[in-house]
Amino acid sequence: MAKKSSVERELKRERLAKQFAAKRAALKAVIANRETSPEDRIVAVMKLAQLPRNSARIRQRIRCQVSGRPRGVYRKFRLSRIALRELASRGQIPGMVKSSW
């Protein structure tokens, strides 16, 4: 089980990313547009820099929904390899069975 503070920090990052997504997208569009004046682009860069760092989507890390483990997480299930195996062995994931040959 991951530290509760790490999991809470990730939840905070998700909330901030949702909150500032529209504002970040608008500023990035101004910066990327080559037809805007250099002064407007510089102002947009400064405004973007003033937003909280944790509001950037890139700062989020995919964590297991069961254990909070940051590594070995399957994106499709949002579960770590360990939690996925345990749930599959118990038969709690529909259609998934432990292989044997």
Q: Where are the domains positioned within the chain?
A: 1-61, 62-94
**pTM value?**
0.77
The four Cα atoms 55, 61, 62, 65 give a dihedral, to 10 degrees, of -80
On average, the pLDDT of the chain sits at: 92
CATH class of 1-61: mainly alpha
How far is the first Cα of the chain from the last one, in angstroms, to the nearest whole number? 32
What dihedral angle (degrees, nearest 10) is formed by the CA atoms of 4, 5, 6, 11? 90
Question: Residue 99: what pLDDT?
Answer: 76
Residue 101 has a pLDDT of 76
Assigned CATH topology for domain 62-94: 30s Ribosomal Protein S14; Chain N (4.10.830)
What six digits make up the tokens of 3? 């530290």
pLDDT tier at 1 (50, 70, 90 boundaries)?
A: confident
pLDDT in tens, 16-56: 999 999 999 999 999 999 999 999 999 999 999 999 999 99
